[in-house]
Structure 1
Amino acid sequence: MASLDDKLHTALEHSLGQHLHEDIIRRGWDYYRSGQVLNVKQADEDTLYGAVQGSDVYSVLLDSDQFRYSKCTCPFNDYCKHMAAVYFAYCHNLDGESAAQAAYDRILGVDQKPQRTSVTVSVPKFSGRHEQPSDDASPWDWGHWMEEEYGETWRSCRHSLHSLQPVLSALKGTTKHWDKRSQRLHWMSVILFVLDQAEQAIKTVDTFSRYYHEMSFLRMAEPWVEHYYTLVLEMQPSEVIGLDRRWINYVADYAKKRAMKNEQQLFDWTYIYLAICERMAEDTEWYEQELASMTREEHREDPVDLTFVHTAAAMLCFFGRDDEAALSHFGKTDFARSQKVIYPCVAQRLEEGDWKVIGEWMGFLYENISKVKNARTIGPFMTLCRRADTDQPDEPRWTRYMVELLPHSYSDLSDHWLAVKKYEEWADLQLLIGMRPDDLGIQNVREVAKVAPSVMIPLYHQSIDEWINSRNRQGYRMAVKELKKLEKLYKAGKGAEKWDRYLAGIVSKNQRLRAFQEELWKGKIVT
């Protein structure tokens, strides 16, 4: 039988593990083992169907791409054991009972070795073999000690990051007597050390299981990452002096070195690094030092991720309000990767209202987006264009950008023209795209028809012609239905005579279409 691709397969396992309680998964396993899954088949590239014998026969649908659409006809009214049973049966049909057993183990996060009946998480303890640094030791000494004492913890992270939680707690506890300012910087370094351990752990995962483990690891590490950002926001740059300054340099350097690696990474180290830069940018000495270091990294002989280097340099220039230099650096990046950093920059400049600078940023974005034109890049840019056009309606370039990105920008442009009450432009857009009134949403059509009925008339003309040209009875009925709506629009605009001439023309032009003439008579359009 056909099978889901690796990504959808692991996504479905992840969703089952996330949404089903362990007891329900185990009961689903029992259903599968007892042969209560009557059948299972793959309907398309991402959907499974199955039937399960319970107190009745229940139909199950599993959507691996959009799990929220999965459902079962049983009275449980939630994600249920029948769903788990169908998935295990599907795995069995693909590769036998061992594949079902492996899927069951992965979902529950247990060790797959058959001789083990329980799961034991090996958590490294403080060995005492390496002397803990003194309070006034350099951050590099602390980093070296952490590596010696806990640097192999990642080897215990086979199915989850649970082994790292006690390490994180233990390392934080070593400085619980420090003052809050210094303790904050130490904790930031500890979190980065633990995240680095997770990065090493994910490299040991096979390709098939990687997606599942990435989701699991990211969910586990989310509170650690959030705590890191909270600690960064609590920093007061004016207070970062002496040994604390060495700590902030250490943390920034740690994040920077991680971000520069040319490899797939679990966490967004670019943002981790830039969070420090944004907070410390008001410290002129530190800012200039860091910007100079980025210039040096650009010319390193060792291979580095140049997109990160130029993105970081661009953001440092942005924080220093050197927009021209920022755009120059962004121009040297892989736009597909750096764009998510650029959009907030433009949004901030829009808030500030410097239209000369805004024009330079928007022009840069348009130049790059117009080369690619896909929904992922156009969506955020359209949001910026709409904001700019709302704030500066007399500047034509914002509308020009949106129009020139058609048809990809259709949805945003249509919504925008309705929002700013440019009904004629809205109607012209629908004509250009070939939209029928029934496709535009009842509320939108009512709004325009009430305020500017005349702009709707060409839309109905085009739609009626298309229905008639379909040359079938259903098309003729739809044409008559829209003729009735069109009549109301003409009469609302005091155009009864125009309506009579239009109707006479339609009847005369299509007099040989007998079925259409019958529908006109049935609909009482003509008598």
Structure 2
Amino acid sequence: MLQRELTREQVKQLGEQVLANMEAAIVERGYGYFSDGFVFNIRVEQNKLVSDVQGSQVYHVTIDLGSFASSSCTCPYARLCKHIAATFFQAYSVFENPRAFMNKLHEPRPLAFTSSILAPAYKSNPRARKNLAQPTVGGAALAPESSIGEWWQFLTKWTRNLPAAMEASRASTELFSSYENALGIASSWPDDLAQLFSVHATLFHLHLLQAFATDYRHSQWTGDLTQTAERLVEYLEGTLYDLDAERLWRDRRSHLQASYEKLKNWKHQDVTHLYGLLAYRLIWTELLTQPGWVDEELEALESCLRDPALPAAKREQYAWLRGHFSVLRREDDEALRVWLRSVRLPLSFYMPYLKEFARNQEWQRCLAWINRIGPLIGRSEASEYRLVSAIWREALISLNRMDEYGAGLKRFLPASYHDYAAHLYQQGEYRAWIDLQMTFQGLPLGAADQPKRERAIEEKEPHLLIPMLVRDINRLIEERNRTGYREAVKLLKKVRACFQKSNQQERWEQYIDRLAAKYSRLRAFQEELRRGNLHL
């Protein structure tokens, strides 16, 4: 019984770790798994909470009660996953109401920096499909001793009907099903060879997806196709991250040479979509690392760029790819100069570099890049902002430069709105805090302690709150309904208290007289004023 193995305090502390270390979307999915009853065999063993969770198969979860970031699951997802969240909710429900926890989930909070947030999203597991029947083409299976060329020939035959199936049905589902089944081809091969095959299978399907988007969708990427491309790149990153490069160089040199011959032409494909660019970066960072190959690729790109007849779109593509080698040579300014000229490259394009710098603890380099791409950070989505800001905070701490924190948050607005508001309040910069609320009035406040902050400011500098309260009062009155009038009257009482605490009773009387006169035709509003004893 968990009541005997855990304490309420342990579960609450675990909840704080979930909020600090996990993305809201992942936690929500875990709550769904818990609600559907997919968690079983839950127990505590040696200060670890373990369970089995039913997903596409049964996964084994281990939550480390002493170090939550070290928790693990046997599913393909490499970070803290929905199965871990589901197990947490199963334990939490013994002591607290999980719905109450869900109310806290979407409150703004910084992401804790741990090594796990730098890991690829998916982990390589060449044995995961070992029990599946090996895929065949025309009854023939692919042998472990087959060549790289034979791999691609097999995959071409394997997917010959796939584009038509993608057009007739849900394209993303058909393609990813083909991809996952293709990985079963190498499920019984040696791990290093199976991982290398996984690299090629991933690139093959990514190329096929690009071709489908061009041929069948007139180059328009739907949401489903984009998510599939993103997931393929994440699997590629995970495979390359776990690749035993030393063993490959020792035992599979001919395979690596053949991989180079096959993949060096990747630059000529249409990789203008972000995921093609990311795949190219991964290939040349993790797989094709021979200095001679790198020099040849760099010369090939520069030769392309010297062609005066090169179309503008291709010139931009080759310049983007050339920038990657500038980074490898630590010529960061040259790469950023080229990349930042384009408005087409989002923050996610730069994230692999920032994560790599953080893994190597190159904090000075991290800060230099973050300062250059500040506007992109300010316009980023919440999940991207949380990740880059976690890296940025760790860099500031490591370099003893936390005095730059406030100025940096201001530079990252509006994405940093909630963090900056919390910082200003903690520093007692109440006027700047009010100005921020007024400037970004379209953004939800989000913080559960917002009323507490306003009460604290009201006690210390009540006059600062008046403009913000007046703004909200005007907005409520303009809604032209009884509910809005009642809420406006509540705020008017706060305004009156602020004027009184500021010894500005006369200004209050002038304000309420003008307000009542301005809206004299709104009978319902006048009634609410009288009920609140605010005006005759």
Cα 1:463/1:252, change in 2 over 3 Å: farther
Matched, 1:126 2:132: no
Shift of 1:444: 4.2
Asked if structure 2 preserves the Cα contact closer than 8 Å seen for 1:150 and 1:167, the reply is no
Question: C-alpha separation between the residues in 2 aligned to 1:127 and 1:501?
Answer: 93
Q: Secondary structure at the match of 1:126?
A: coil
Match of 2:465 in 1: 459
Shift of 1:482: 1.8
Q: Secondary structure at the match of 2:403?
A: coil
- Equivalent residues in 2 for 1:291-310 (5 A)? 291-299=298-306, 305-310=314-319
Matched, 1:185 2:212: no
Shift of 1:468: 7.1
Query: What's the CA shift string for 1:201-224, capped at 9, x where partnerless?
Result: 55553669x877x837976x8987
Higher relative contact order (CA 8 A, sep 6+): 2
Asked if structure 1 preserves the Cα contact closer than 8 Å seen for 2:486 and 2:528, the reply is yes
Question: C-alpha separation between the residues in 1 aligned to 2:203 and 2:256?
Answer: 12
Shift of 1:292: 4.5
Match of 2:216 in 1: 205
Q: Secondary structure at the match of 1:498?
A: coil
1:270 to 253, 267, 277: 277
1:233 to 236, 241, 249: 241
Shift of 1:251: 3.6
Match of 2:168 in 1: 159
2:370 to 354, 359, 362: 362
Asked if structure 1 preserves the Cα contact closer than 8 Å seen for 2:473 and 2:491, the reply is no
1:139 to 143, 148, 152: 148
Shift of 1:523: 1.7
Q: Which amino acid aligns with 2:403?
A: D
Q: Which amino acid aligns with 1:430?
A: Q
Q: Secondary structure at the match of 1:326?
A: helix
Asked if structure 1 preserves the Cα contact closer than 8 Å seen for 2:430 and 2:457, the reply is yes
Cα 1:249/1:461, change in 2 over 3 Å: same
Match of 2:335 in 1: 326
Cα 1:431/1:383, change in 2 over 3 Å: farther
Shift of 1:498: 0.9
Question: C-alpha separation between the residues in 2 aligned to 1:250 and 1:273?
Answer: 17
Aligned pair count reads 382
Q: Please give the root-mean-square deviation of Cα atoms over the aligned residues, in Å.
A: 5.4
Higher radius of gyration, 1 or 2:
1
TM-score normalised per structure 2: 0.52
Question: C-alpha separation between the residues in 2 aligned to 1:290 and 1:477?
Answer: 69
Cα 1:279/1:473, change in 2 over 3 Å: closer
Shift of 1:393: 4.2
Question: C-alpha separation between the residues in 2 aligned to 1:363 and 1:124?
Answer: 52
Match of 2:432 in 1: 425
Q: Which amino acid aligns with 1:341?
A: F
Shift of 1:289: 5.1
Unaligned runs of 5+ in 2: 1-134
Asked if structure 2 preserves the Cα contact closer than 8 Å seen for 1:291 and 1:316, the reply is yes
1:401 to 401, 408, 411: 411
Q: Secondary structure at the match of 1:446?
A: helix
Shift of 1:484: 1.8
Query: What's the CA shift string for 1:284-332, capped at 9, x where partnerless?
Result: 5555555455444444566574444344333344355443343244246
Question: C-alpha separation between the residues in 2 aligned to 1:518 and 1:201?
Answer: 65
Question: C-alpha separation between the residues in 1 aligned to 2:283 and 2:266?
Answer: 14
- Equivalent residues in 2 for 1:379-390 (5 A)? 380=384, 384=388, 388=392
- Equivalent residues in 2 for 1:10-409 (5 A)? 125-126=137-138, 135=145, 139-140=148-149, 142=150, 145-146=153-154, 152-154=160-162, 157=165, 158-159=167-168, 173=185, 179-201=190-212, 203-205=214-216, 215=224, 228-241=236-249, 244-251=252-259, 254-255=262-263, 257-258=265-266, 260-262=268-270, 268-280=275-287, 287-288=294-295, 290-299=297-306, 305-331=314-340, 334-337=342-345, 339-346=347-354, 349=357, 357-366=365-374, 369=376, 375-376=379-380, 380=384, 384=388, 388=392, 391=397, 392-395=401-404, 397-402=407-412
Matched, 1:500 2:497: no
Q: Which amino acid aligns with 1:205?
A: Y
Question: C-alpha separation between the residues in 2 aligned to 1:435 and 1:504?
Answer: 30
Asked if structure 2 preserves the Cα contact closer than 8 Å seen for 1:153 and 1:164, the reply is no
Question: C-alpha separation between the residues in 1 aligned to 2:505 and 2:283?
Answer: 71
Q: Which amino acid aligns with 2:348?
A: K
Q: Secondary structure at the match of 2:269?
A: coil
Q: Secondary structure at the match of 2:138?
A: coil
Cα 1:166/1:444, change in 2 over 3 Å: closer
Question: C-alpha separation between the residues in 1 aligned to 2:486 and 2:144?
Answer: 86
Cα 1:521/1:417, change in 2 over 3 Å: same
Question: C-alpha separation between the residues in 1 aligned to 2:390 and 2:153?
Answer: 53
Question: C-alpha separation between the residues in 1 aligned to 2:302 and 2:381?
Answer: 28
Match of 1:522 in 2: 531
Query: What's the CA shift string for 1:466-516, capped at 9, x where partnerless?
Result: 84796989687655422322355567xxx3x71534434435666867778
Q: Which amino acid aligns with 1:340?
A: S
Give aligned-pair identity as a percent. 15
Q: Secondary structure at the match of 1:394?
A: helix
Match of 2:52 in 1: none
Q: Which amino acid aligns with 1:232?
A: L
